[in-house]
Structure 1
Amino acid sequence: MTRRFARLAAGAALLTASAAAAAGSHVFLVQNSGWMEPFYTDPASPFKPLVAEIVMAATRAGDPMVLAAFNQGVPGAPSPRALLSLKVDPVATRREVVKALAALDVARKPGSTALADTDLNEAVDSAIGTALGGKPGLVWLVTNNRNSPNNDQATALRNRDFYRLIHRGDAIGKALAFPLQMPVQGAQYRANGLMLYVFAVGEQGARELDALLASGRLQRVVTEPPARLKPLDRDTVRLLPRKVSDAPGVSFSMTPGGVLHADVDADTRAPTARIEWNLENAMYPYTIASATIGARSVLGGEDRPIELASTEVRKLAPGTGAPLASVMQLPVRQLPGKWSIEAITSAGSAYVLPGRIELQLSGQQLELSQAFRQRMATLFPGDPLPDIFTPPAQVKGSTAVLPIEVRVHYGVGPLVAAIGAALALLGAAAAAMLAMARPRKAYVTVEDELRTMHARAGTVQPIYDKAGNKVAQLKTTLFGHQLIDLREGAQVRLGR
């Protein structure tokens, strides 16, 4: 590896200096070997404008990016060769990209008129290891899908290297391919199409690619649906609810974000639902030839199996669905009662219990769909199907997760009752405070003399006889008056 990077130092140094692999980094690799001759020499070729639009659609302001040409590195002509290295500014970057591509031409071998050969594996490996330094980012590869060193037809060896890098390497977490139609005629060759690959390096790179696809920016330029290369062991199918029966008080719906909502009435005590789904193959361009399926729900700390009417999937083509019936229980014991604090605070809205439905496919057999094979044969006539589209033998299972939110709807009755009780308590407290603050009249007879005293609740007042001696005390509470500390023999009583 060291020797190879030394050979590539002239081109790779700029890649390394620019990308530094910050989050959001992009490396665009554009093939300019001999096989690409018609894309460069056909006067009507839309190749360079398309590449410029892909760069602008994939990046955002501030993203570090590198634009590089690649063929096959040889002494005196390293590959890849950086054309641009910058942080994206929408206006200036478009101008620089168009200028760099305008100056790019088909490469020739040093000291020869022979056109340069191609090494896809070398280009991608250099972008990951040198340009990104193994850190997160996206590597884009624009190629005619031919990987033939020394202008021979022995593509199998190079294809296997490319296959191992993509499928068996740990660096790439997600890989997609876009076969694009582009008929061009050059002086030496003609072509019907090319391939756009994108490789997400690291988990952060995969998240960036998902966010890019969700934004729709790339789809405005590349309308072909992406062919998934990796991963093939997760999120391979989708569950879409069609019908719910035998579930009084329970209804299901799907949000645009792909979250299943189970709305449960507060009085429902045994929410078991029979749900009919569409099980959809989300692995374009692969057909699920066969697989065994199982499902479970994880809700409120409860892990429950989901009973499936059928546990076998056969010949499920990409983008198509198959009916799947199931019986699912919701976690009754985890749902708050209507008089609970959770219910009262959720009155008028919903108490949400998050969870997930997990679907497992085992014994999974994948086949490349015939429709995709035919499209590849049309775009690349006479070329063998690249090994990169062969599913890895070790991928025998996959998982799919459907987020679910159980939402319990509570009426406002308990909340109104709680508010009423609180108001009553407040009223009682206010009345007590007023009663304590208001002077109360008390009649006390001392030695046959009727006296009128005024006292507030919570106070104690002394009582004196005619000679000025203390003979008792008057204690006043919310509930009345009381004589305390009565002196022995004293003629004192409450009342007249």
Structure 2
Amino acid sequence: MMRVLLAGLLAALAGPAHATSHVFLVQNSGWMEPFFTDPSSQYKPLIAEVVTAATQPGDALVLAAFNQGLPGAPSPRALMSRSVDDKSQREAVRAALAPLTVARKPHGGALADTDLGEAVGSAMTQALGGKPGLVWLFTNNKNSPNNDQATAQRNREFYQLIHSGAAIRKAVAFPLHMPVKGERYSANGLMVYVFAVQEQGMRELDALLRSGRLQKVITEPPARLKPLDADTVRLVPTRVENVPGVTFATLPDGRLRADVDAQATANGPPPAARITWRLENAIYPYTIAHARIAAQSSLAGAVKPLALAHDDVAALAPGKPQPLASTMALPVANLPGKWSLAALQSAGSAQVLPGRIDVQLSDQKLELSQAFRQRMATLFPGDPLPDIFTPPERIQGSRAALPVEVRLQHGAAPLLAALGALFALLAAAAALLIAATRGRKVLVTVEGEQRTIHTKAGAKTPLYDRAGNRVAALHTTLFGNKLTDLREGAQVRIGR
């Protein structure tokens, strides 16, 4: 039973903080008969290769077979639970799959039915224990060999679990060509689903897809099921008309960079550049049949709308980008001045200010692309298109963001001027210090007797007559000397 796996998986989760938890669900109900009985079937080898590509040392792994749970025949059923190592992963999966055959119902011997929602739900609540992770599903999209009345209901429950369930944050599918022929049934294709559970699971799935490891086994592009309200389009700069004082460039990762000469843009109106984008559909297999589009830039703390050549999108299909012209103004008034601390710190090099361009689609209508419909009809002939690919009606808009980097070039002149002023200030301070500590000779006359007094700035030297009586004090400052505490009738003066 799947519950037996809980303790083993939780123990594996106690490994490295970066480890990912995977649950691989392998369908073995009646409709899967040709995938098990055809001698040329690549079903089990594919699963072993996907598991090997998707997991890394330290990850937690559960492998289970599923159909439809009945009294005396629980589903899913554990095949393997372990912590992944880098030595025997492929062989361990192959050994666990080797004895797996088509499941039958207890007592009657009929081929087992399937409940996709039951399998995915058990994987999340029991195998993962409510924690983040990835749930993989290998299926032919059929829920019941006998096409009983409960099939439609189970399909709706599966749809609701994926699209409306809060636990699943991202879902993708890979329709694969796999022709097989058994004694009872035949099939042309197989579907591999991946469900990312919670935010951490979504980050782990994104990282896996970016790594390219999975693409070495599955070359088909992932069909996105969820989310359909984020990152649905991409903006790729294709042509930029530079303006005086501003030079644009496209970085290898797709970001737009603007090099701004602070001196050239200090006077005159704010510069604005005309940018032509390639607007790409990022939600294969859906076509954006129609949507209203708006965009704004967030640069140097200023949010400004982008003036677009048109405010709507129509028939934007995957792999068929559309041009989109725009005008973007740079908020020069918000950029740090040449005498700012940031400018002085970056003198002689570029001061980098991160920003972004936000794209918002509203009144959005999605349709499955015709190419995907044709592919599904080829892989699953005679089967209705799974409802899971029907976009929810409540998704009316989506958003996307393009990072932008502004590099502000101030030059070295402000820094040199600041350094000159600093050196002048230090020189003046040094002169004052020397003057304050330098010894001085002062000639004073006391009752007709000339005396030379050795003193320095800040000193107060008492003066006495011939009888030893104090008659005055000589007070020396940075700016001169003066007599203080002069006794009445005493004859004392500075100089001869």
**TM-score of the pair, normalised by structure 1:** 0.91
Report if aligned partners of 2:242, 2:248 keep a CA contact under 8 Å in 1: no
Report if aligned partners of 2:31, 2:145 keep a CA contact under 8 Å in 1: no
Q: Distance in 2 between matches of 1:296 and 1:198?
A: 34
Instruction: Tell me which of 22, 27, 30 is aligned to 1:26.
Output: 22
Superposed CA deviations along residues 345-400 of structure 1, whole A, max 9, x for unmatched, are 22233334333322111121111112212222222223222111121222221111
Instruction: Tell me which of 111, 129, 148 is aligned to 2:144.
Output: 148
Report if aligned partners of 1:352, 1:407 keep a CA contact under 8 Å in 2: yes
The residue aligned with 1:368 is: 368
Q: Distance in 2 between matches of 1:50 and 1:255?
A: 37
The residue aligned with 1:196 is: 192
Report if aligned partners of 1:119, 1:149 keep a CA contact under 8 Å in 2: no
The residue aligned with 2:237 is: 241
Superposed CA deviations along residues 289-328 of structure 1, whole A, max 9, x for unmatched, are 1111112223444332222110111111113221111122
Q: Distance in 1 between matches of 2:493 and 2:219?
A: 102
The residue aligned with 2:16 is: none
The residue aligned with 1:452 is: 452
Q: Distance in 2 between matches of 1:92 and 1:394?
A: 46
Q: Tell me the CA shift for residue 256 of structure 1.
A: 4.2
The residue aligned with 1:7 is: none
Q: Distance in 2 between matches of 1:75 and 1:153?
A: 20
Q: Distance in 2 between matches of 1:349 and 1:138?
A: 45
148-157 or 255-264, which deviates more: 148-157
Q: Distance in 1 between matches of 2:54 and 2:303?
A: 41
Q: Does 1:12 align with 2:2?
A: yes
Report if aligned partners of 2:298, 2:304 keep a CA contact under 8 Å in 1: yes
Counterparts of residues 53-452 of structure 1 (less than 5 Å): 53-150=49-146, 156-245=152-241, 247-267=243-263, 268-269=265-266, 270-452=270-452
Q: Distance in 2 between matches of 1:141 and 1:349?
A: 52
Report if aligned partners of 1:240, 1:278 keep a CA contact under 8 Å in 2: yes
Superposed CA deviations along residues 387-429 of structure 1, whole A, max 9, x for unmatched, are 1112122222111122333332221211122122222222222
232-241 or 263-272, which deviates more: 263-272
Q: Distance in 2 between matches of 1:179 and 1:115?
A: 24
Q: Distance in 1 between matches of 2:371 and 2:254?
A: 27
Q: Tell me the CA shift for residue 338 of structure 1.
A: 0.4
Q: Tell me the CA shift for residue 264 of structure 1.
A: 1.9
Q: Tell me the CA shift for residue 112 of structure 1.
A: 4.4
Superposed CA deviations along residues 163-195 of structure 1, whole A, max 9, x for unmatched, are 222112222111000112223333333333211
Q: Distance in 1 between matches of 2:482 and 2:91?
A: 98
Q: Tell me the CA shift for residue 63 of structure 1.
A: 2.2
Provide the secondary structure at the position in 2 that maps to 1:288. Answer: strand
Q: Distance in 1 between matches of 2:124 and 2:256?
A: 38
Report if aligned partners of 2:111, 2:145 keep a CA contact under 8 Å in 1: no
Q: Distance in 1 between matches of 2:91 and 2:492?
A: 108
Report if aligned partners of 1:59, 1:88 keep a CA contact under 8 Å in 2: yes
93-102 or 153-162, which deviates more: 153-162
Q: Distance in 1 between matches of 2:347 and 2:149?
A: 71
Provide the secondary structure at the position in 2 that maps to 1:337. Answer: coil
Q: Distance in 2 between matches of 1:376 and 1:467?
A: 123
The residue aligned with 2:469 is: 469
Structure 1, unaligned stretches of length 5 or more? 1-10
Identity %: 67
Q: Distance in 1 between matches of 2:354 and 2:438?
A: 55
290-299 or 147-156, which deviates more: 147-156
Q: Distance in 2 between matches of 1:142 and 1:59?
A: 16
Superposed CA deviations along residues 74-96 of structure 1, whole A, max 9, x for unmatched, are 22111111111222222244443
Q: Tell me the CA shift for residue 344 of structure 1.
A: 1.0
Q: Distance in 2 between matches of 1:330 and 1:446?
A: 77
Report if aligned partners of 2:236, 2:254 keep a CA contact under 8 Å in 1: no
Q: Distance in 2 between matches of 1:294 and 1:102?
A: 54
Q: Tell me the CA shift for residue 151 of structure 1.
A: 5.5
Provide the secondary structure at the position in 1 that maps to 2:490. Answer: coil
Q: Distance in 2 between matches of 1:191 and 1:101?
A: 20
The residue aligned with 1:8 is: none
Distance 1:254 1:15, change over 3 A: farther
Letter aligned with residue 348 of structure 1: G
Superposed CA deviations along residues 84-132 of structure 1, whole A, max 9, x for unmatched, are 1222222244443221112222222223443222221221122123222
Provide the secondary structure at the position in 2 that maps to 1:336. Answer: coil
Report if aligned partners of 1:148, 1:158 keep a CA contact under 8 Å in 2: no
Once superposed, what is the RMSD of the aligned Cα atoms? 2.3
309-318 or 132-141, which deviates more: 132-141
Q: Tell me the CA shift for residue 337 of structure 1.
A: 0.9
Provide the secondary structure at the position in 2 that maps to 1:73. Answer: coil
Provide the secondary structure at the position in 1 that maps to 2:427. Answer: helix
Q: Tell me the CA shift for residue 233 of structure 1.
A: 1.1
Provide the secondary structure at the position in 2 that maps to 1:129. Answer: helix
Structure 2, unaligned stretches of length 5 or more? 14-18
299-308 or 16-25, which deviates more: 16-25
Distance 1:260 1:122, change over 3 A: same
Q: Distance in 1 between matches of 2:319 and 2:244?
A: 33
Q: Tell me the CA shift for residue 257 of structure 1.
A: 4.4
Letter aligned with residue 144 of structure 1: N
381-390 or 182-191, which deviates more: 182-191
Q: Distance in 1 between matches of 2:422 and 2:77?
A: 75
Q: Distance in 2 between matches of 1:188 and 1:27?
A: 30
Q: Distance in 2 between matches of 1:190 and 1:249?
A: 67
